[in-house]
Structure 1
Amino acid sequence: MHPLTGQSLMTLQEQLKHIKYILIDEMSFLGPKLLLKIDSHLRQAFPDSQHESFGGVSIILVGDLAQLPPVMDKPIYASHSVALGLWHSFTTVITLDTIFRQQGASIRQQQFRTLLHNIRNAQALQHDWQFLMCQTNATLTTQQKKDFNSSIHLFATNESARLHNRKMLKELNLPIALSLAKVGKQTNTEYDNDEQLPLEVLLSINQQVMLIANLWIEVGLVNGAIGLIKTIVYENNTKPPDLPKYVVMQFKDYNGPPWDIAHPKDIPILPITQGRRTQVPLTMSWAITIHKSQGLTLDRATIDIGNTEKQGLTFTAISRVKSIDGI
């Protein structure tokens, strides 16, 4: 996040020299600190326009400010710094009012959309609460509860998600391989993304995991893609806790060329390097945090919003799911 110099600056200028528009999705995660850094780096990237906001590039923000705010920062509109001036420079607002995630003309779907609208605007009423409570553990049938056991679980905290993932991994009753990241020497790079690749990853057959890196966006191998582990392959003379050679994953949304003709949704995931760490870019995903779920669309989910409400937490969690029956 420091000012760029040398090769890093030259690389950025070369990458962006033909760029006229930059789209930033999930704008609610964008806080004053990050907005200032974007402005600063773009002024460096376009030195001929360094006296203009964002180096003269057009910025298009996409998202919903009623969702989760930035981590360890203020909401973008709550600043009292130079960033507030940058925020006020966005003068064109286009509101998209067609709901795609919760489509349907049934009475329950209409009621669900009304519920989400009221929660989003902090105007939920008693009948909204009662409608939501028809989908709790106390009201579902035994079969419905069983169906939801395998659904993705959304939690308010990392610790709650971790505990549920460990529980589900243990219930597989299959061997578990520990994958320890390779850690290289410290370099002079300004961008050390170590926090994105964990030091330790637990792997098991039939384990539900999530990609935590964009590997091949065009075919669906994106950060947040959820799949199942089918096979774990090691180089000769290596074994856990060494890094696997690759992990064969099954992604239902994969739409690229088949790696295995008999199983067209299977694809090998290799270890990658980010910052100083080399690791398979996977994490357990029977449970994830509500923060991690923002941007996902889910058929069904079991939701625990925790003990305290925070801005956008309940709305973001419940609005990930397509229908009330999927909660």
Structure 2
Amino acid sequence: MYFIRYIIIDEMSFIGPKLIQHIDIRLCEAFPAHNQLPFGVRSIILFGDLGQLPPIRDIPMYASTSYGGTLWRSFITIITLKKIFRQIGDQPAQISFRALLSNLRNAEPTIADWQLLLSRENSTLSSVEQSLFLSSTHLFATNEMVSLHNKRMLLSLEKPIALSTVEQLKGITCSNPDEEQLESKILLCIGQEVMLSTNLWVETRLVNGALGQVKEIVYNGGERPPALPLFVFVQFKKYIGLFWDQYNPKNIPLIPISRGLRRQIPLKMAWALTIHKSQGLTLQRVTIDIGNTDRQGLTFIAISRVRDLASLRIHPPFTFQRYSRIQKSPYAAR
């Protein structure tokens, strides 16, 4: 701990004044010799885009007049990276898409951009294109819509579904179970699209948010649902570690893990995700429903998850009035 000099934090738009103040308090406790100075005289390096989604149940750091806001203003070196890699390309269509995303990020909606997006509305696509998007990741603004779509897709597999119920370990029950990361109940099925819900092996890309597909569910002899499986084989598309199965090198056996006072398989259904959960992801194809309300960065994050406009489907369509609400965020103009 003594040798720590730099602390790197990604997705800084999710950090509010409350969280940055907690980080400061803990570092000052860890390094008491320097507890009169911010962060215990450790260097904090923040990565991200403040035009993306703001913290949940908090406000952006730059909007605060509290001590957390003061800590934010202590960051005096800013390096701006100007080259876009996700939507790279010199074709006219790609240049137009990047310009659209720039307008979205800066809360400057235009009718031309809105019309361009509606060219990807489901009814305007050919039957061949529509079929390509049937298996695409769906992004929704609310957890309720995500849950509804995931359950609908799970039933469409028409295969046996196993319920895995969390094991509650002995101790004081957590006042907020969601903070323990593990679901109280998860549904498992062969062929199911899933997301890893915790960091297991960062070097191999088995990280929180990694996407995969369930290939096999294995139980201890004599056990059956709702008991926890012995392990679940999941094929992770971006896994780069050692092979567990030479014929299926991306298939990984996941065992139940413990977080806090819970023990569970660290998976969530992932045919659909909230737009919040998609921040930081690059998706091959995506269908988006931006909902009826907006907050800073919501529409921008949803539309910018793909590499090009052709990888995007809009369903259902939205009005220009809804699109232009990106201007109304209290933090849009900085």
- With the shorter chain as reference, the TM-score category is over 0.9
Secondary structure class of the residue paired with 1:229? strand
Residue 245 (structure 2) pairs with residue 260 (structure 1)? yes
Q: C-alpha displacement at 1:124, in angstroms? A: 2.0
TM-score (norm 2): 0.91
Residue 316 of structure 1 is aligned with which of 301, 307, 310? 301
Q: Which runs of 4+ in 1 moved over 6 A?
A: 188-193
* Match in the other structure for 2:19: 34
Look up the equivalent residue of 1:241 and give its one-letter code.
P
Secondary structure class of the residue paired with 1:135? coil
Task: Provide, for residues 245-298 of structure 1, a one-character-per-residue CA deviation record: whole Å limited to 9, x for no partner.
Answer: 000010121111100111111110111000110000000000000000000011
Secondary structure class of the residue paired with 1:164? helix
Q: How does 1:262-301 map to 2 (within 5 A)?
A: 262-301=247-286
2:248 and 2:84 map into 1 onto residues whose CA distance is 34
TM-score (norm 1): 0.93
Secondary structure class of the residue paired with 2:146? helix
Residues 192/129 of structure 1: CA separation in 2 closer, same or farther (3 Å cut): closer
Say whether the 8 Å CA contact 2:180–2:262 is kept in structure 1: no
Q: C-alpha displacement at 1:200, in angstroms? A: 0.2
Residue 171 (structure 2) pairs with residue 186 (structure 1)? yes
Moved more, 217-226 or 184-193: 184-193
* Match in the other structure for 2:86: 101
Give the CA RMSD over aligned residues: 1.5
Residues 188/307 of structure 1: CA separation in 2 closer, same or farther (3 Å cut): closer
1:194 and 1:303 map into 2 onto residues whose CA distance is 27
Say whether the 8 Å CA contact 1:194–1:274 is kept in structure 2: no
* Match in the other structure for 2:9: 24
Residues 219/191 of structure 1: CA separation in 2 closer, same or farther (3 Å cut): farther
Q: How does 1:6-17 map to 2 (within 5 A)?
A: 16-17=1-2
Residue 211 of structure 1 is aligned with which of 196, 213, 233? 196
2:154 and 2:62 map into 1 onto residues whose CA distance is 41
Residues 218/202 of structure 1: CA separation in 2 closer, same or farther (3 Å cut): same
Residue 57 (structure 2) pairs with residue 72 (structure 1)? yes
Task: Provide, for residues 180-211 of structure 1, a one-character-per-residue CA deviation record: whole Å limited to 9, x for no partner.
Answer: 00001224999987541010000000000000
Say whether the 8 Å CA contact 1:152–1:285 is kept in structure 2: yes
Matched residues, percent identical? Answer: 54
Q: C-alpha displacement at 1:220, in angstroms? A: 1.1
Task: For structure 2, list consecutive stretches of 5 or more residues without a partner in the other structure.
Answer: 313-334
* Match in the other structure for 1:11: none
* Match in the other structure for 2:320: none
* Match in the other structure for 1:154: 139
1:67 and 1:271 map into 2 onto residues whose CA distance is 33
Task: Provide, for residues 3-60 of structure 1, a one-character-per-residue CA deviation record: whole Å limited to 9, x for no partner.
Answer: xxxxxxxxxxxxx321100011100000011011000000001011111100100001
* Match in the other structure for 1:112: 97
1:71 and 1:38 map into 2 onto residues whose CA distance is 17
Secondary structure class of the residue paired with 1:63? coil
2:235 and 2:213 map into 1 onto residues whose CA distance is 5
Task: For structure 1, list consecutive stretches of 5 or more residues without a partner in the other structure.
Answer: 1-15
1:190 and 1:58 map into 2 onto residues whose CA distance is 33
How many residues matched?
A: 312
Task: Provide, for residues 40-87 of structure 1, a one-character-per-residue CA deviation record: whole Å limited to 9, x for no partner.
Answer: 000001011111100100001110000000000011111121111101
Residue 310 (structure 2) pairs with residue 325 (structure 1)? yes
2:226 and 2:296 map into 1 onto residues whose CA distance is 40
